[in-house]
Amino acid sequence: MVPVSLVPDLAERSTRRTMRDDLIEAHVPVALSIASRYRNRGIDLDDLEQVALLGLTKAADRFDPGAGHAFMSYAVPTMRGEIRKYFRDHGWMVRPPRRVQEMQARIAGIEDLLATQLGRSPRPSEIAAHLEADLADVEEALAADGCFSPASLDLPVGDGGPPLAELLGAEDRSFSRAEARVLLAPAVRRLAERDRLVVRLRFRDELTQREIAEAVGLTQAQVSRILDRVLGELRAGLVGRVPAA
């Protein structure tokens, strides 16, 4: 027979397990969707799905509903981080310099810890402080991973809208996707935290506006307005920096 003094503790554990299981079950489609965005890169989709589900499970295990953060805002970076680690362990699509790889490995080792403590993705300055590393080195490693995947520049900004590259003038000015990413990275790092998160969820993680709205606790209309405003700012920032055709 369970002692009376332990009943509240057991009840709390049971509630916690139920919440964890519900979170995992409800977000399995999101995990599979994130995994699918990394297919055809040399690793089987089944493996990617398992890795994404592992990330989802870790996020559910560590999620603190009392911290006031939306689960998706923590779970998506965690799932994507697990996939990134898997790619690092099993091969590179484009191999950066060794010093950048080493810094990326150090960052990967503490990202989950900081995300758990903060309830969100850590800022570059927070990563640098934790690693006692130079901020420029951390930013270089993060930029090598990129805010925009190569394909993301072809993604429509909104439902049925024009692709990002077209809005930024990439096609008209005839510069490469790689050049666009290099030019955009510093501007993205200067964005406000929420704006940067919305941009990354859309063009790095390739979430829909509806999924982003759920992740950051906004309406879909608010997400759309943020994207329109931020892309206008990014486009203005590229003026004079893009080589002429």
47 and 78, same domain (yes or no): yes
Give the span between the Cα atoms of 178 and 105, in whole angstroms: 23
Mean pLDDT of the 132-149 span? 72
How many CB atoms within 10 Å of residue 151?
11
108 and 193, same domain (yes or no): no
Residue type, 117: Q
Give the span between the Cα atoms of 137 and 152, in whole angstroms: 25
Give the pLDDT of residue 10: 46
Cα–Cα distances (Å) from 25 to 29, 34, 108, 202, in that order, read: 8, 15, 26, 23
User: Is the pTM for the entire model greater than 0.75?
Assistant: no
What percent of the chain lies above the pLDDT cut of 90?
10
Beta bridge partners of 156: 163
Give the span between the Cα atoms of 186 and 80, in whole angstroms: 22
141 and 191, same domain (yes or no): no
Give the pLDDT of residue 54: 93
Structural domain tally of the chain? 3
25 and 78, same domain (yes or no): yes
Please, which pLDDT band fits residue 13 given cuts at 50, 70 and 90? Answer: low
Residue 240's Cβ-count burial label (10 Å; 0-12, 13-18, 19+) is exposed
Give the span between the Cα atoms of 188 and 30, in whole angstroms: 25
Please, which pLDDT band fits residue 166 given cuts at 50, 70 and 90? Answer: low
Give the pLDDT of residue 84: 80
Please, which pLDDT band fits residue 216 given cuts at 50, 70 and 90? Answer: confident
Domain containing residue 187? 146-245
Q: What is the mean pLDDT of the chain?
A: 73
